[in-house]
Structure 1
Amino acid sequence: MKNIFYIFVTVVLISCVSKSAKPETVLQLDSNKTTLIEEIQFLKDSGYPLSKELELDSFPSRSRAYEENKVLYKTLIKASSKIRMLSVHIEDNKPFLVYPQIGRSKNFSFDKGKILEVYNREPIPPIVEDGRSFDDSLNGINFRYNDGNLSEVACYYHFDPCDEKILLTPAGEIQKVIKEKNTCKKGCGNLIFFRAPGSYKIADNKVRVRKEPSTKSEIITELNKDTPIEVIADAEVYEEVFPHYGTWGKVKLGDGTEGYVYGAFLRAPAEPDVVAIREKAEEWKKKNGWKRK
């Protein structure tokens, strides 16, 4: 197990929704479960399954950490009751680096029940002489929130913002688009470890439903953005579909046909509609002449 200090050198956050624009509640809890605390409910609404031990229905009375291991990933939740801060670290169980054994991770951070940030981290070689130092940096898409409202969508490579940064108003409108000096050398992808069973929406246009969980498998059909779809289970088959990293979800279509959709192309209730945000950003750029600011 990795050093806890390493796991929490940074806290994490992901998309949350304001009281005036709550997401569809489609990932339902079991009827016999009590109400979960906001932070844990947000994780479930983001499509991440948690064991009963991690499904907290009350905030811990003292600082403590919870941990669980799955075949493909491990989850660590660390809580501090004094200031009601909660951090969640979900890490790939297939290390990206052999030594030290470090994998990609997705991080969430909360403050007093509200989401603050959601980001991906990735260890970047080479390993230097001491065998421990490496560039464990932000990579891919990053979400930041202000008072629980999505306020920034940005791409990162080696801790530095790259390509562009989209700033949003509390109402979800585009405030500004900033063109960054750096180019995202690895693209601006998302990291999806697992998709819990439940109702989702297709995240992009022309998303392919395949017969097997592989980009080489036969295509059953194509679905457009916002099409409702039921995820039966996570296939637990990992694949990198540039610029994303993740597993496939086993889905059921409206006519009962079963197939597979890549996890990054499924959108859970608490996840931002990145495609719609980027479309609005393009409109903003045309209107404002895409100036470097």
Structure 2
Amino acid sequence: MSPLYLFSQIAAPFIVGLLQIGLAIAIWRKKGRQDASNILFALTVLSISFWCFAVALFNYAPLFGYIEIFSTLSYIAASFIPYFFLLFTFNFPSEKLRISRKELLLLTIPFVITLLLSFFPYKIVREVRQFSPENSIVIPGSGQVTYSLFLIGYFLYAFFNLFRKYHTTKGVLKTQVVHIALATLVPTFIGITTDFFFVIFIAVQYNWIGPVSTIFLFLLILYSMRKWRLFNLLIIQHGNRFLALVPSKEAKSLGFCVGYKRDLLGYALR
């Protein structure tokens, strides 16, 4: 294997995966177990990191075998991303879990079915044809259509939720929604293109681009956390309306003041 292959297709996804773990921990630690939205997005980012590792292992597999196993593992890891992301878009910005048991069940059933299909041999990946250590193609199995519908459908539903939140929010929350949408939309489009369509119809040699593109999510979310207090606002919920409490020194940059509590100013979010 060439040094370029080792870096771009093995080292780079692995490094990005480590960065995503750090981001997931940072989001989780903002409010600990008290914020359901933070936990769901942290799980989304953690799923991205596992996907990065799985792709890196798949690209390294030609050196020691088990390439079909790591190919299946990459599909399994990727299936967690749209599931947790969709749950997050339903819940954000509430600190409490807003999804009912019925909704959670309806969203979980397709995910579990897809996950089970991934574990069955030859259902998602029928065969990996390897022409050289650096070039191979994935032959899809009979469950590929189901997997495709789940993956694309859940992502579309999630972005539809963000689109609705953008039109029903204002101030700092609207800015946060925009950042979340951009941070996830770009790598989602790149990932589905290079790690799904390219892998099936062209060649697997481009599968490293998707995981590496999630560095955009890492940077934009990190920026929003520092600049716009993403995942670090004190949210007060009243019915379907939210109030954010922020330090008074940040008042001018965050929105319209509607209340006061100690050194915190309240801002209507929607």
**TM-score scaled by structure 2?**
0.28
Q: Choose 1 or 2 for highest CA Rg.
A: 2
Which has a greater percent of helix?
A: 2
Structure scoring higher RCO (CA < 8 A, sep ≥ 6) equals 2
